[in-house]
Amino acid sequence: MIRIVILILLGSPVAAETIVAARTIPAQTLIAPDDLLVRDVTIAGGESDPLLFVGMESRVALYAGRPIRVGDVGLPAVVERNQIIPLIFVRNGLKISTEGRSLARAGPGEMIRIMNLSSRSTVSARIGKDGAAYVSQ
Protein backbone atom coordinates (compact mmCIF):
# COMPACT_ATOMS: atom_id res chain seq x y z
CA MET A 1 0.00 0.00 0.00
CA ILE A 2 2.80 2.44 0.88
CA ARG A 3 4.59 1.68 -2.41
CA ILE A 4 1.48 2.56 -4.39
CA VAL A 5 1.10 5.92 -2.61
CA ILE A 6 4.76 6.77 -3.18
CA LEU A 7 4.53 5.86 -6.88
CA ILE A 8 1.39 7.96 -7.26
CA LEU A 9 3.03 10.97 -5.58
CA LEU A 10 6.21 10.65 -7.64
CA GLY A 11 4.32 10.24 -10.91
CA SER A 12 2.06 13.26 -10.51
CA PRO A 13 3.18 16.55 -12.03
CA VAL A 14 4.21 19.24 -9.59
CA ALA A 15 2.45 22.56 -9.99
CA ALA A 16 4.79 25.52 -10.22
CA GLU A 17 4.37 29.22 -10.68
CA THR A 18 5.60 31.06 -13.75
CA ILE A 19 5.97 34.81 -14.20
CA VAL A 20 4.19 36.18 -17.28
CA ALA A 21 3.73 39.68 -18.67
CA ALA A 22 0.52 41.37 -17.49
CA ARG A 23 0.45 43.55 -20.61
CA THR A 24 2.47 43.92 -23.78
CA ILE A 25 5.75 45.53 -22.76
CA PRO A 26 7.73 47.21 -25.55
CA ALA A 27 11.48 46.69 -25.83
CA GLN A 28 13.63 49.11 -23.81
CA THR A 29 10.98 49.56 -21.10
CA LEU A 30 11.65 49.38 -17.36
CA ILE A 31 9.64 46.59 -15.76
CA ALA A 32 7.50 47.50 -12.75
CA PRO A 33 5.73 45.10 -10.35
CA ASP A 34 2.39 45.92 -12.05
CA ASP A 35 3.77 44.57 -15.35
CA LEU A 36 4.03 41.02 -13.97
CA LEU A 37 1.53 38.27 -13.18
CA VAL A 38 2.06 34.91 -11.48
CA ARG A 39 0.41 31.92 -13.19
CA ASP A 40 0.05 28.44 -11.67
CA VAL A 41 1.48 26.67 -14.70
CA THR A 42 4.79 25.09 -15.49
CA ILE A 43 6.38 26.51 -18.62
CA ALA A 44 9.80 25.38 -19.82
CA GLY A 45 12.31 28.19 -19.38
CA GLY A 46 9.91 30.24 -17.27
CA GLU A 47 10.96 31.77 -13.96
CA SER A 48 9.01 31.86 -10.70
CA ASP A 49 10.73 34.74 -8.91
CA PRO A 50 9.34 38.17 -9.86
CA LEU A 51 12.32 39.90 -8.22
CA LEU A 52 14.45 38.72 -11.16
CA PHE A 53 12.51 41.08 -13.41
CA VAL A 54 11.39 44.12 -11.39
CA GLY A 55 13.63 47.11 -12.18
CA MET A 56 15.13 45.42 -15.23
CA GLU A 57 14.74 46.62 -18.81
CA SER A 58 13.06 44.56 -21.51
CA ARG A 59 15.48 43.75 -24.33
CA VAL A 60 12.68 42.48 -26.60
CA ALA A 61 8.92 43.01 -26.74
CA LEU A 62 7.21 40.96 -24.01
CA TYR A 63 3.69 39.91 -24.89
CA ALA A 64 0.79 39.71 -22.42
CA GLY A 65 0.28 36.24 -20.95
CA ARG A 66 3.59 34.87 -22.23
CA PRO A 67 6.38 33.83 -19.86
CA ILE A 68 9.30 36.17 -19.31
CA ARG A 69 12.72 34.56 -19.53
CA VAL A 70 15.94 35.84 -17.99
CA GLY A 71 17.44 36.46 -21.44
CA ASP A 72 14.53 38.74 -22.33
CA VAL A 73 15.61 41.38 -19.78
CA GLY A 74 18.80 43.08 -18.67
CA LEU A 75 20.10 45.91 -16.58
CA PRO A 76 18.82 49.31 -17.70
CA ALA A 77 20.97 50.86 -20.41
CA VAL A 78 23.48 53.49 -19.32
CA VAL A 79 24.85 54.04 -22.84
CA GLU A 80 22.82 54.91 -25.93
CA ARG A 81 23.82 54.21 -29.52
CA ASN A 82 26.07 56.98 -30.95
CA GLN A 83 26.71 58.45 -27.49
CA ILE A 84 30.18 59.86 -26.85
CA ILE A 85 31.63 58.07 -23.80
CA PRO A 86 35.00 57.66 -22.09
CA LEU A 87 37.04 54.82 -23.61
CA ILE A 88 39.50 53.50 -21.02
CA PHE A 89 42.33 50.97 -21.24
CA VAL A 90 44.01 49.89 -17.97
CA ARG A 91 46.85 47.37 -17.74
CA ASN A 92 49.80 46.95 -15.36
CA GLY A 93 49.39 50.39 -13.84
CA LEU A 94 49.10 52.10 -17.24
CA LYS A 95 45.85 53.96 -17.89
CA ILE A 96 44.97 55.37 -21.30
CA SER A 97 41.76 57.34 -21.69
CA THR A 98 40.15 58.87 -24.76
CA GLU A 99 36.68 59.43 -26.16
CA GLY A 100 34.72 56.87 -28.10
CA ARG A 101 31.37 56.60 -29.85
CA SER A 102 29.19 53.67 -28.78
CA LEU A 103 27.91 51.65 -31.69
CA ALA A 104 25.11 50.04 -29.67
CA ARG A 105 22.87 50.61 -26.68
CA ALA A 106 24.07 48.77 -23.55
CA GLY A 107 23.77 48.31 -19.83
CA PRO A 108 26.51 47.69 -17.26
CA GLY A 109 28.52 44.56 -17.92
CA GLU A 110 27.62 44.25 -21.59
CA MET A 111 30.25 44.05 -24.32
CA ILE A 112 29.72 46.38 -27.27
CA ARG A 113 31.73 47.87 -30.11
CA ILE A 114 33.14 51.36 -29.56
CA MET A 115 34.75 53.57 -32.20
CA ASN A 116 37.82 55.41 -30.93
CA LEU A 117 37.27 59.00 -32.08
CA SER A 118 41.01 59.73 -32.32
CA SER A 119 42.05 56.79 -34.49
CA ARG A 120 38.66 55.85 -36.00
CA SER A 121 39.39 52.21 -35.11
CA THR A 122 36.72 50.02 -33.56
CA VAL A 123 37.29 48.01 -30.38
CA SER A 124 35.19 45.78 -28.13
CA ALA A 125 34.69 47.12 -24.63
CA ARG A 126 32.71 46.26 -21.52
CA ILE A 127 30.42 48.99 -20.22
CA GLY A 128 30.93 49.91 -16.56
CA LYS A 129 28.31 51.08 -14.09
CA ASP A 130 29.65 54.60 -14.62
CA GLY A 131 28.86 54.48 -18.36
CA ALA A 132 32.50 54.31 -19.44
CA ALA A 133 33.77 51.66 -21.88
CA TYR A 134 36.63 49.53 -20.54
CA VAL A 135 38.90 47.82 -23.05
CA SER A 136 40.80 44.68 -22.07
CA GLN A 137 43.09 42.34 -23.97
Mind listing the pLDDT tens digit of every residue in the chain (137 residues)? 444 444 344 444 445 788 999 999 999 999 999 999 998 887 777 788 888 899 999 999 999 989 999 889 988 999 999 999 999 998 888 999 999 999 999 999 999 999 999 999 999 999 999 999 999 86
Q: Report how far residue 103's alpha carbon sits from residue 124's, in angstroms, rounded to the nearest whole number.
A: 10
Can you name the CATH fold of 13-74? Type Iii Antifreeze Protein Isoform Hplc 12 (3.90.1210)
Provide the whole-model pTM: 0.68
**Residue 55 to residues 2, 7, 30, 34, 81, Cα–Cα distance (Å):** 48, 43, 6, 11, 21
- ∠125-89-137 over CA atoms, to 5°? 65
Those residues with Cβ within 8 angstroms of residue 56's Cβ, 6 or more apart along the chain or in another chain? 30, 31, 73, 74, 75, 76
Span 84-135: which CATH code? Answer: 2.30.30.760
Q: So where are the chain's domains?
A: 13-74, 84-135
pLDDT attached to residue 44? 75
* Gap between the terminal Cα atoms of the chain: 65
| Alpha helices, H only, 1-137 | 2-11
Q: Report how far residue 31's alpha carbon sits from residue 13's, in angstroms, rounded to the nearest whole number.
A: 31
User: Would you call 109 exposed, middle or buried from its count of C-beta atoms within 10 A (0-12, 13-18, 19+)?
Assistant: exposed
pLDDT attached to residue 15? 54
